[in-house]
């Protein structure tokens, strides 16, 4: 066999390219390619095996083996030497194939005559497409150079497969992208949606895998890598000094961007005839294949970094980016590895749903998706490799399931589900202007939670009586610098305008814990949920809070104003925050500004401690709102972001309900208005139980108002209370089973 020098590799690639350009049918093209490779590499045999389905390889073309075996010989992944190359995504190089472990004799191919065997995987971005094999009669191992040369050829073949150069039975990839895929992830925002895939960052398509002039390609690669390094350095410069985590990620990026090994491998690929982008993709592919087999999570993350970096480099080299010229479908379902809150807001309500490969329940993207009420499934592994732009897709945010290219039966069951939801919406619309009056005559007032200007149109359509919680942090989270007072005042004023005189409870900035501002100097905290967050930040560094309070007073401009302070854990935090507000009022008055017509100052009860605060706290607060999301995590000591424990304790647990009852009673003693604004208020069964415990005001996502009102109107709260009390007396852990049973019979 001829040694494969770099220049021979280049010659082979350009001959390959010429074959690819010939106007012949797919099979003939494959045949010519195998002939060409065998000839150029001086081997008796060259064969191409392609994946027929997820686990079957088929001999699709050969030079040297029996022609009758083409499209007949098949093997499973892992079976025989060819199957093992595919399984482990690694070359097998042996001088004596029949003696090799795993060798399987295929009589129809006549291959027993060949001794040496070299097989390399055909992969595209870590995805198996097939195996390329050369064989010879002489008993010799192939040199590293030859292995390398064959890998480069396999890379070019992979690109050509993707480009549709191979048609007919070997087009395993295309077949695969037609098949239905069901992925299970996590729910981050409920709701169901049906639509077409819109890839946030479409894959870069390498249209020119082979290049004529390696010197030009080397220059292109080096220029792009230089730009990449500058970009990474710039990103590092922008990391806030204390943000150790982001710094660590970017340091790893920088390390990879400066990796000599990575650069050297790509330079070698280019020297053998690949274009710069094909070289990047070849190394990315190898890293991806490794990613699947690395058990260590830390190392896997680092390989992910390398993957990200390769994507950036590919975009720099090809000029391809997000704008591929494709049009956003009418019913877009956004598919991405991950997405930032600002990017998600840019898409806004046009999106029907979002599916992320990564993400977390507490991520900013999830907060935005929740605010926009867009179903969101996270941790849908492989979705970005499986999905193609325009694919039909179903997103079930309630179950955390995604169906990509669903079969008709699945799609029609899903349509039924959507129709049932739509019918329910109609029922809710019919009671929109009616009160949430239970059969016993008790009326519960229902309000909505909001955080964006875009939420306000839901106020009239949902039937909410007002905004029970306006989370002000979203304007802070989605910008890269602190918003100015004037901007905020204008925004808050527009929110009040849009509310048309209905009450809006503005909660002052609740940051820290999971909500970290990009421009805030982060502090390394062992347990951020228990750390320096919300009012603690507001009181220790009052500048931003005071600015926000001024903006609120100015926005009210003579209208009533309601302000709520988050995460109050003891009385004096409330008095101090309240004093800040009163001082700002005095200042504004001194400046001659119009003061609010009336002012209500409330506190969020999010830590159990406040349930035991002195009576004077309850007397001073104009109102209290239970932040159940936080309260529950502290009550049960179970992190609301931790998938392992967050569902472990039931909201209808007897201890928790009893604690809520205690807060209701304390507020009743002092005549303090009380509401509940955590997510649980929007769950109909929970809402009924809260109302039965004495809560008369609930605030929830606008979409939950219909279902909650509908159930409240069908039950007698006194009966509900009796059922709950009976369960409490029986020593039950949760009242849910008996309440559900009672509802089934009575609602």
Q: Which does 159 bind (CB under 5 to 8 A by kind): ligand PEP, Mg ion, none?
A: none
Give the nearer residue to ligand PEP in terms of CB position, either 169 or 650.
650
In 3D space, the residue among 613, 611, 604, 617 whose CA is nearest the CA of residue 678 turns out to be 604
Q: Which does 471 bind (CB under 5 to 8 A by kind): ligand PEP, Mg ion, none?
A: ligand PEP
- The yes or no reply on residue 629 touching ligand PEP (CB under 6 A) is yes
- In 1-132, which residue ranges form alpha helices assigned H by DSSP? 6-21, 26-41, 80-88
Cα 302 from chain centroid (whole Å)? 19
Give the nearer residue to ligand PEP in terms of CB position, either 414 or 635.
635
Quick one: which of 119, 678, 684, 707 contacts ligand PEP (CB under 6 A)? Answer: 678
Beta strands in 156-221 (DSSP E): 181-184, 186-189, 192-199
Rounded to whole angstroms, the Cα distance separating 692 from 694 reads 5
- The yes or no reply on residue 518 touching ligand PEP (CB under 6 A) is no
Quick one: which of 10, 471, 580, 666 contacts ligand PEP (CB under 6 A)? Answer: 471
Give the nearer residue to ligand PEP in terms of CB position, either 89 or 607.
607
Give the nearer residue to ligand PEP in terms of CB position, either 31 or 630.
630
Element (H, E) at 175: helix 172-176
Angle at 194 between CA 193 and CA 195, to 5 degrees: 125
Q: Which does 269 bind (CB under 5 to 8 A by kind): Mg ion, ligand PEP, none?
A: none
Q: How far is the CB of 564 from Mg ion (least distance, A)?
A: 11
Query: How far from 14 is each of 7, 115, 212, 711, CA to CA, in Å?
Result: 11, 29, 7, 71
**432-451: which residues touch Mg ion (CB under 5 A)?**
none
Q: How far is the CB of 88 from ligand PEP (least distance, A)?
A: 46
Which stretch in 497-505, 590-598, 612-620, 628-636 sits in contact with ligand PEP by CB under 6 A? 628-636
Q: How far is the CB of 274 from ligand PEP (least distance, A)?
A: 51
Rounded to whole angstroms, the Cα distance separating 46 from 39 reads 9
**14-43: which residues touch ligand PEP (CB under 6 A)?**
none
Give the nearer residue to ligand PEP in terms of CB position, either 10 or 632.
632
Give the nearer residue to Mg ion in terms of CB position, either 386 or 606.
606
- In 408-533, which residue ranges form alpha helices assigned H by DSSP? 408-430, 458-462, 473-477, 485-499
Q: Which does 677 bind (CB under 5 to 8 A by kind): ligand PEP, Mg ion, none?
A: ligand PEP
Rounded to whole angstroms, the Cα distance separating 625 from 611 reads 12
What's the half-sphere exposure (Cβ side, CA atoms, 13 Å) at 458? 22
Which stretch in 239-247, 538-546, 622-630, 689-697 sits in contact with ligand PEP by CB under 6 A? 622-630
Q: How far is the CB of 89 from Mg ion (least distance, A)?
A: 46
Query: How far from 373 is each of 192, 246, 449, CA to CA, in Å?
Result: 11, 29, 11
**What DSSP state is assigned to residue 95?**
S
Q: Do 10 and 99 touch, CB atoms closer than 8 A? A: no
**Closest residue (Cβ) to Mg ion?**
630
Q: How far is the CB of 693 from Mg ion (least distance, A)?
A: 20
Give the nearer residue to ligand PEP in terms of CB position, either 306 or 509.
509
Q: List, in sequence order, every residue forming a beta bridge with 48; answer none if it has no partner.
A: 61, 132
Rounded to whole angstroms, the Cα distance separating 47 from 664 reads 77
Give the nearer residue to ligand PEP in terms of CB position, either 470 or 492.
470
In 3D space, the residue among 660, 663, 559 whose CA is nearest the CA of residue 621 turns out to be 663
Give the nearer residue to ligand PEP in terms of CB position, either 38 or 474.
474
Rounded to whole angstroms, the Cα distance separating 31 from 36 reads 9
Rounded to whole angstroms, the Cα distance separating 56 from 49 reads 10
Total residues in contact with ligand PEP, by rule CB under 6 A: 10
Q: Read out DSSP for 609-642?
A: HHHT--HHHHHH-SEEEE-HHHHHHHHTT--TT-
Q: Do 701 and 370 touch, CB atoms closer than 8 A? A: yes
Quick one: which of 159, 630, 661, 686 contacts ligand PEP (CB under 6 A)? Answer: 630
Total residues in contact with Mg ion, by rule CB under 5 A: 3
Give the nearer residue to ligand PEP in terms of CB position, either 214 or 602.
602
CB under 8 Å to 674, separation ≥6 — which residues? 623, 624, 625, 626, 663, 664, 667, 695, 696, 697
| Annotated catalytic residue, options 60, 187, 667, 677 | 677
Structure tokens at 121: 């995987």
Encoded one letter per residue, x for contact with Mg ion by CB under 5 A and - for no contact, window 608-637 reads: -------------------x--x-------
- The yes or no reply on residue 606 touching ligand PEP (CB under 6 A) is yes
Q: How far is the CB of 627 from ligand PEP (least distance, A)?
A: 3
Q: Which does 678 bind (CB under 5 to 8 A by kind): Mg ion, ligand PEP, none?
A: ligand PEP
Give the nearer residue to Mg ion in terms of CB position, either 480 or 527.
527
In 3D space, the residue among 447, 450, 451 whose CA is nearest the CA of residue 465 turns out to be 447
Which stretch in 81-89, 171-179, 242-250, 626-634 sits in contact with ligand PEP by CB under 6 A? 626-634
Q: Do 218 and 267 touch, CB atoms closer than 8 A? A: yes
Longest dimension (CA), the chain: 100
Q: Do 131 and 119 touch, CB atoms closer than 8 A? A: yes
Q: How far is the CB of 699 from ligand PEP (least distance, A)?
A: 8
Rounded to whole angstroms, the Cα distance separating 608 from 659 reads 8
| Annotated catalytic residue, options 60, 364, 403, 447 | 364
Which stretch in 108-116, 437-445, 570-578, 624-632 sits in contact with ligand PEP by CB under 6 A? 624-632
- The yes or no reply on residue 627 touching ligand PEP (CB under 6 A) is yes
Quick one: which of 510, 588, 661, 686 contacts ligand PEP (CB under 6 A)? Answer: 510
Q: Read out DSSP for 532-579?
A: S-THHHHHHSTHHHHHHHHHHHHHHTTS-EEEEEEEE-SHHHHHHHHH
Q: Which does 628 bind (CB under 5 to 8 A by kind): Mg ion, ligand PEP, none?
A: ligand PEP
Q: How far is the CB of 367 from ligand PEP (least distance, A)?
A: 8
Q: Read out DSSP for 339-373?
A: --HHHHHHHGGG-SEEEESS--TTSHHHHHHHHHT
Q: How far is the CB of 467 from Mg ion (least distance, A)?
A: 16
Q: How far is the CB of 475 from ligand PEP (least distance, A)?
A: 14
**162-191: which residues touch Mg ion (CB under 5 A)?**
none
Residue 364 is among the residues annotated as catalytic for this protein:
yes
Q: How far is the CB of 556 from ligand PEP (least distance, A)?
A: 22
Q: How far is the CB of 631 from ligand PEP (least distance, A)?
A: 7
Angle at 475 between CA 474 and CA 478, to 5 degrees: 75
Q: How far is the CB of 399 from ligand PEP (least distance, A)?
A: 23
Which stretch in 208-216, 230-238, 248-256, 625-633 sits in contact with ligand PEP by CB under 6 A? 625-633
Quick one: which of 628, 684, 702, 707 contacts ligand PEP (CB under 6 A)? Answer: 628
Give the nearer residue to ligand PEP in terms of CB position, either 80 or 678.
678
Torsion sign across C-alpha atoms 400, 406, 409, 414: positive
Element (H, E) at 704: helix 702-712
Encoded one letter per residue, x for contact with Mg ion by CB under 5 A and - for no contact, window 576-615 reads: ------------------------------x---------
- The yes or no reply on residue 677 touching ligand PEP (CB under 6 A) is yes
Residue 677 is among the residues annotated as catalytic for this protein:
yes
Contacts with ligand PEP by CB under 6 A lie at 469, 471, 510, 606, 627-630, 677-678
Catalytic residue list = 364, 677
Contacts with Mg ion by CB under 5 A lie at 606, 627, 630
């Amino acid at each position: 066999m001829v040694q494969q020098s770099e220049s021979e590799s280049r010659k082979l690639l350009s001959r390959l390219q010429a074959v690819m350009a010939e106007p012949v049918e797919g099979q003939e093209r494959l045949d010519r390619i195998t002939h060409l490779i065998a000839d150029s590499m001086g081997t008796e045999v060259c064969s191409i095996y392609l994946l027929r389905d997820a686990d079957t390889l088929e001999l699709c073309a050969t030079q040297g083996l029996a022609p009758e075996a083409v499209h007949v010989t098949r093997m499973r992944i892992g079976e025989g030497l060819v199957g093992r190359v595919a399984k482990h995504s690694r070359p097998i190089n042996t001088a004596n194939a029949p003696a090799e472990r795993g060798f399987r004799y295929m009589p129809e191919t006549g291959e027993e005559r060949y001794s040496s065997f070299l097989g390399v995987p055909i992969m595209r971005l870590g995805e198996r497409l097939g195996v390329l094999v050369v064989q010879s009669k002489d008993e010799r191992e192939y040199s590293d150079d030859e292995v390398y040369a064959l890998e480069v050829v396999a890379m070019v073949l992979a690109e050509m497969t993707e480009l549709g150069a191979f048609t007919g039975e070997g087009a395993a990839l295309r077949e695969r992208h037609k098949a239905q895929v069901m992925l299970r992830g996590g729910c981050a925002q409920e709701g169901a949606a049906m639509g077409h895939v819109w890839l946030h960052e479409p894959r870069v398509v390498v249209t020119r895998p082979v290049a004529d002039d390696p010197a030009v390609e080397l220059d292109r690669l080096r220029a792009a890598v230089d730009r990449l390094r500058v970009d990474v350095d710039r990103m590092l410069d922008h990391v806030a000094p204390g943000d150790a985590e982001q710094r660590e990620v970017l340091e790893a990026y920088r390390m990879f961007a400066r990796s000599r090994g990575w650069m050297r491998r790509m330079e070698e690929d280019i020297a053998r005839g690949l274009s710069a982008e094909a070289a990047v993709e070849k190394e990315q592919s190898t890293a991806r294949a490794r990613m699947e087999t690395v058990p260590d999570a830390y190392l896997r993350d680092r390989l992910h970094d390398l993957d990200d970096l390769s994507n950036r480099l590919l975009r720099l080299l090809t000029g391809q980016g997000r704008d591929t010229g494709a049009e956003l479908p009418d019913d877009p379902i956004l598919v991405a590895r991950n997405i930032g809150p600002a990017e998600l807001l840019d898409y806004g309500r046009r999106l029907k749903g979002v599916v992320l490969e990564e993400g977390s329940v507490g991520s900013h993207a999830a907060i935005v998706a929740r605010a926009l009420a867009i179903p969101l499934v996270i941790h849908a592994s492989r979705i970005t490799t499986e999905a193609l732009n325009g694919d039909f897709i179903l997103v079930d945010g309630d179950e955390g399931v995604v169906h990509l290219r669903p079969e008709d039966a699945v799609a029609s069951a899903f349509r039924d589900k959507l129709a049932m939801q739509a019918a329910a919406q109609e029922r809710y619309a019919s009671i929109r202007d009616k009160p949430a009056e239970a059969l016993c005559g008790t009326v519960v007032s229902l309000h909505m939670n909001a955080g964006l200007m875009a939420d306000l149109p839901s106020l009239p359509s949902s039937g909410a009586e007002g905004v029970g919680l306006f989370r002000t942090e979203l304007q802070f989270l989605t910008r890269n610098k602190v918003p100015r007072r004037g901007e905020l005042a204008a925004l808050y004023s527009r929110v009040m305008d849009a509310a048309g005189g209905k009450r809006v409870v503005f909660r002052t900035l609740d940051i820290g814990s999971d909500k970290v501002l990009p421009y805030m100097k982060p502090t390394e905290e062992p347990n951020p949920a228990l750390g320096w967050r919300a009012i603690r930040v507001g009181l220790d560094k009052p500048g931003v809070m005071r600015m926000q309070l001024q903006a609120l007073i100015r926005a009210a401009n003579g209208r009533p104003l309601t302000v709520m302070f988050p995460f109050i854990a003891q009385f004096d935090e409330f008095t101090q925050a309240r004093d800040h507000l009163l001082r700002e009022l005095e200042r504004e008055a001194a400046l001659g500004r119009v003061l609010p017509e009336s002012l209500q100052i409330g506190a969020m009860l999010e830590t159990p401690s406040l349930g035991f605060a002195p009576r004077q706290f309850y007397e001073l607060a104009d109102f209290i709102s239970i932040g159940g999301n936080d309260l529950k995590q502290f009550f049960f000591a179970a992190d609301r972001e931790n998938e392992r424990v967050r569902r472990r304790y039931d909201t209808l647990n007897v201890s928790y309900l009893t604690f809520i009852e205690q807060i209701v009673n304390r507020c009743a003693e002092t005549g303090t208005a009380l509401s509940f604004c955590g997510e649980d208020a929007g769950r109909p069964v929970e809402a009924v139980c809260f109302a039965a415990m004495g809560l008369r005001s609930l605030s929830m996502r606008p979409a939950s108002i219909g279902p909650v009102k509908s159930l409240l109107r069908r039950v007698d709260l006194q009966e509900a209370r009796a059922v709950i009390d009976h369960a409490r007396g029986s020593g039950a852990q949760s009242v849910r089973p008996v309440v559900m049973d009672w509802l089934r019979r009575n609602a």
